[in-house]
Structure 1
């Protein structure tokens, strides 16, 4: 029997939050996810020598991580955290009470009694007027504890292993000092600065594949021609027609060049923003030197037309062409991708990991007689799910990676395509995204 090749593609993305003139970050997510999921996901793989995965790293995210590493970004969330609690002005206190509970309550606030207490003290409402009426109820120590906890709860499980002093602060839990706060913020700087070198190292070792997306994460079919949205929904109301394929070309060309400059080699694959594809995209991708792309299984169903069963068509790569240019394309298993994204966090980690393995074994048993190993592509956001998992998803990920042995083998997409190139050509590529073929 042929083993099942499992290709995880973890899509790491953030919009470009930084004002290019003032260099001010409107939101802190590139920094905070760096100390949590971006570092966790790569660092964890160092412990699994036989696991191979693909990380799709969006240039707009990478640029911000670079800028944070060089301390080129003015981040108001970081600035107000650095102010000694005794020196906070009213506007700083309002900012802290409004925004320093930006974390998943169930997994990142409630497990920590002091953080939970501070949230209860502030109350449900976080609008400026409501918060302003409460600022005198908080002591200097309260504000300092809040400054620490917001940044501490965003430190991931691998960061805590890397810097054990962080665990001491989790244990301490309250009555933090300014020195404690400085330790957290310096640890944050250290981890952020290690993110890109870590991915580069793992890629150079052949442990992971790194791919890209259009530079600022645009929806490419709409950039090429907003009229493409009507291919599935004929009566869809649209704004004034807009066509700018040159920008789509530039977004991809710049993404490939940026990736090559940062990692020393060009990407082979590209995940289009939100999995949004159209036939006109194919020549643009190949012109940029890209060899493969990916999208959702529903696009495959509509591209093939009637008469094909999901199980016999989904688990293989395809070729697709337009205007004489051809590229390989894979389609994600929507069910498994969405289970990890939205469902497994609500189940015990051991049960969730076992369920995923059972699904994969079912695919392998149905298709094991195939001439080539079937390919199951599991493609999803690589940072957002873990806020909802206990412990940042550590137990679940460890169990999943440990279970993929025998007839279930992980692979990068390019490694699979090198060994088992696509055998079938699609008649067309339906326009749509991972929301569905009727929507972009």
Structure 2
């Protein structure tokens, strides 16, 4: 009798934090729209090109809202010339360049934030502009002599470099602009904005259509991407890191209530965009604990997923038996939700290694690993490859085009591998193995070390705790209107997001640390103002700096610590 095919789930997690200053509406960083035009549209196109392929795509609700806002703003500009609140996107179509030299230099420097090898050096015209811009950084006095054409051209090239490969291959307007190379006009720049607007307006619909066809399963993350186990119990940190230093804050006040708020708001937002309730939840950063899984189960989710290191840590406990084969969902005692565990090794090969390989060789290597698992593990095994859906591809040639094209085509044709979704795996009655105890952790190293446990991250928690006490006090005093409470709840949710804590710490790059800690302090200050209080003076001072050069710029981390 022929052995069942190995079940493989590819899960792509799409998420960006809230980059707007909610009080002014200004986008402080452009990463949401740049990842739409480069990664989210490419990922949809690769699935559309191979109708038999399957995947799980997870969206953070706060990302969906930002995509919607960008689409509205670009449409309003193109129709009625209403200004765009993202400074970089607004500069793309500005009729003149900034008069102030510092503003001019900031704009030029913003157009350097691209992968040097894959996005800049690929285009000689862009490479030349970047070299000139880098010279200007060291020869600031010459900015007076920089003409408008230089800034217009580098703005155009920046957006061309960030354009998705599937768009570059299929859109004749983009092909023409790349071939033109220089001397871009305002008409050219407005044409790029029109293309960007098309991608922003259509991208969510494309995923909705893929889900309707049954080709993908759409899942959700709590609304603003908080680390739920830490909101529920800061001391869950010690389950995987017994000696980790902790913040002065002993417990996050009202944490369970906030977790439920993020879940309710997240599902409500997801349903507004896609028209149905999701069956599965990828908890922010795959962060789980026994209490987190119980809450997800009570909330009605049919599955959750996390990192392989969490399973590894849990199986080291004496209460748990080591199973035959680990590629299975597990159900923790006293919960009713199956939890899938990421194959960290295979996922990290894609995230950190295969960008240096020829696409076909990388896919062959991945398939070889899968064939070994299929030959050596039980017949109903499920391999879960779970990855950031956006940050890896800029390190691949052509934004991962050849790797992803070959990946889907070859996996759908493989006689011993079957692409599935998590819900399909459960419906096909795969064995769900028991787990007596779970060690709380995330997909990064199986711990919470990325968000808590060092001086700067702990300081962030103490600052967040301070504003939460102020929030609770204002609510109990009943001095806020219903409208003010809703605005404060939303601002609090933004402050609770995981991304700010991710970037705190000197091992991260200086610019990223500065950008994110500034926005964290701004978010906290905005919340105090919404509560009718003056922000504490410490919010005027930077509390963390970065000096590191981590792999992939620090936007991704491997699942296991080497």
Deviations 1:91-122 (A, max 9, x none): 44222212111111111111111111111112
**Counterpart selection for 1:423 from 411, 416, 432:** 432
Distance in 2 of aligned mates of 1:114 and 1:309: 60
The residue aligned with 2:192 is: 184
Distance in 2 of aligned mates of 1:55 and 1:183: 30
| 1:211 aligned onto 2:219 | yes
User: Aligned pairs, how many?
Assistant: 432
Distance in 1 of aligned mates of 2:327 and 2:209: 30
The residue aligned with 1:289 is: 300
Higher relative contact order (CA 8 A, sep 6+): 1
**Counterpart selection for 1:316 from 328, 349, 357:** 328
| Secondary structure of the structure 1 residue equivalent to 2:166 | helix
Q: CA RMSD in A?
A: 2.0
1:136 positional shift = 3.1
Unmatched runs of 5 consecutive residues or more in structure 2: 77-83, 450-562
Give the alignment of 1:54-73 within 5 angstroms. Answer: 54-71=56-73
The farther-off stretch of 307-316 and 215-224 is 307-316
The residue aligned with 2:376 is: 366
The residue aligned with 1:329 is: 339
The residue aligned with 1:380 is: 387
Distance in 2 of aligned mates of 1:310 and 1:185: 55
Distance in 1 of aligned mates of 2:43 and 2:321: 34
| 1:439 aligned onto 2:431 | no
| Secondary structure of the structure 2 residue equivalent to 1:373 | coil
| 1:389 aligned onto 2:391 | no
Distance in 2 of aligned mates of 1:104 and 1:311: 43
The residue aligned with 2:556 is: none
Q: Deviating runs (4+, > 4 A) in structure 1?
A: 85-89, 306-311
Distance in 2 of aligned mates of 1:301 and 1:47: 36
1:11, 1:380 within 8 Å by CA — same for their partners in 2?
yes
| Secondary structure of the structure 1 residue equivalent to 2:7 | strand
CA gap of 1:87–1:94, structure 2 versus 1, over 3 A, is closer
1:436 positional shift = 2.2
Distance in 2 of aligned mates of 1:373 and 1:49: 24
The residue aligned with 2:496 is: none
**Counterpart selection for 1:250 from 247, 261, 267:** 261
Deviations 1:106-150 (A, max 9, x none): 111111111111111122785xxx474342343322111111111
CA gap of 1:292–1:91, structure 2 versus 1, over 3 A, is same
| 1:159 aligned onto 2:171 | no
| Secondary structure of the structure 2 residue equivalent to 1:120 | helix
Distance in 2 of aligned mates of 1:199 and 1:21: 31
CA gap of 1:422–1:311, structure 2 versus 1, over 3 A, is closer
CA gap of 1:166–1:300, structure 2 versus 1, over 3 A, is same
TM normalised by structure 2 equals: 0.74
TM normalised by structure 1 equals: 0.93
The farther-off stretch of 97-106 and 7-16 is 97-106
CA gap of 1:273–1:38, structure 2 versus 1, over 3 A, is same
| 1:272 aligned onto 2:280 | no
The residue aligned with 2:544 is: none
| 1:408 aligned onto 2:417 | yes
Distance in 2 of aligned mates of 1:114 and 1:349: 26
| Secondary structure of the structure 2 residue equivalent to 1:247 | helix
The residue aligned with 1:356 is: 366
2:285, 2:442 within 8 Å by CA — same for their partners in 1?
yes
**Counterpart selection for 1:99 from 104, 110, 113:** 110
Distance in 1 of aligned mates of 2:227 and 2:21: 21
1:422 positional shift = 3.8
**Counterpart selection for 2:309 from 298, 308, 318:** 298
Distance in 1 of aligned mates of 2:148 and 2:447: 54
2:342, 2:386 within 8 Å by CA — same for their partners in 1?
yes
1:52, 1:412 within 8 Å by CA — same for their partners in 2?
yes
1:252 positional shift = 1.3
**Counterpart selection for 2:133 from 122, 138, 151:** 122
**Counterpart selection for 1:229 from 226, 237, 240:** 237
2:56, 2:216 within 8 Å by CA — same for their partners in 1?
yes
Distance in 2 of aligned mates of 1:306 and 1:242: 26
